[in-house]
Amino acid sequence: MSIEIRSEDENMKPYLDHPVELIELSKLLPHEMTIRSEIEWLIKDLKMNKILIWPILVDKNTNLILDGHHRVFAMKELGYNKIPAHILNYDDEMIKLDTWYPVINIPTDDLINILKETHVIVKKVEKSNLNYELLKYRKFTCYMVNEFELYEIKGDRDKIFEIIRINFMDKITYYDNYKIALDNTDAENTCVLAWSYGKDEVRKFAKTGGVYDPKTTRHVLPFKVKKIHYDITDL
């Protein structure tokens, strides 16, 4: 199972002042793949404790799942029809869309050699040339970085991360802050910094039935969500 490292200080945010509603699972629109081991862990926990600790987050206009894909699919597998949710306005400018920054426990050269099978274009540049802001313009797909080296990679973003997922899922640590991710690179650990999709791209893709790789999107919220400890036997 991969690891998540969160650095954002949630204590500085107010709690979300919004009701929890029950929403039908069949109406929800996913946009990311799930990780099977995480679903299995959730199913085991829900069977044992019958408590859903966190509500999911859903867009009020499209029923797009903003947070909680694994909870949704675990509840479906257990035979439930509804799930507690906060229904939010995804168009609210205070809700930001970013991505996760994986650090993979593999030397950079080995990772690039595997990715070359997808016909990516690799350009080695000076480490001092790293400029995260350039990613926003999508001149290239991602940086691959270790302690001493920097590469610009051009290719299919989804294909690159699919290969990383298939080959290295158990060797990935995901960071919510790219600077902290970079601080955790060395000769054996490679950071991949990629641009983030936009909200409209995510919605359009999801409406076609498409799903991105896990950890493609990371929603940055202006509030923190309260635990609800919802008794699922009431559903």
Read off the amino acid at residue 222. Answer: P
Give domain limits for the chain. Answer: 3-94+222-234, 100-194
Tell which residue, 16, 27, 29, 34, has the closest CA to residue 212. 34
CA 158 to chain centre: 13
Banded pLDDT at 127 (limits 50, 70, 90): very high
Calculate mean pLDDT across residues 149-174: 94
**CATH number, domain 100-194:** 3.30.1760.10
* pTM as predicted: 0.92
What are 171-227's pLDDT values in tens digits?
A: 999 999 999 999 999 999 999 999 999 999 999 999 999 999 999 999 999 998 999
Domain 3-94+222-234, CATH 3.40.50.970 — does that match? no
Calculate mean pLDDT across residues 8-30: 88
Q: CA-based angle 204:79:1, to the nearest 5? A: 65
169 forms bridges with which residues in the sheet?
none
Per-residue pLDDT for 2 more than 80? no
Q: What integer pLDDT is reported at residue 9 of this predicted model?
A: 67
Q: What integer pLDDT is reported at residue 10 of this predicted model?
A: 67
Intra-chain end-to-end CA distance of the chain, in Å:
30
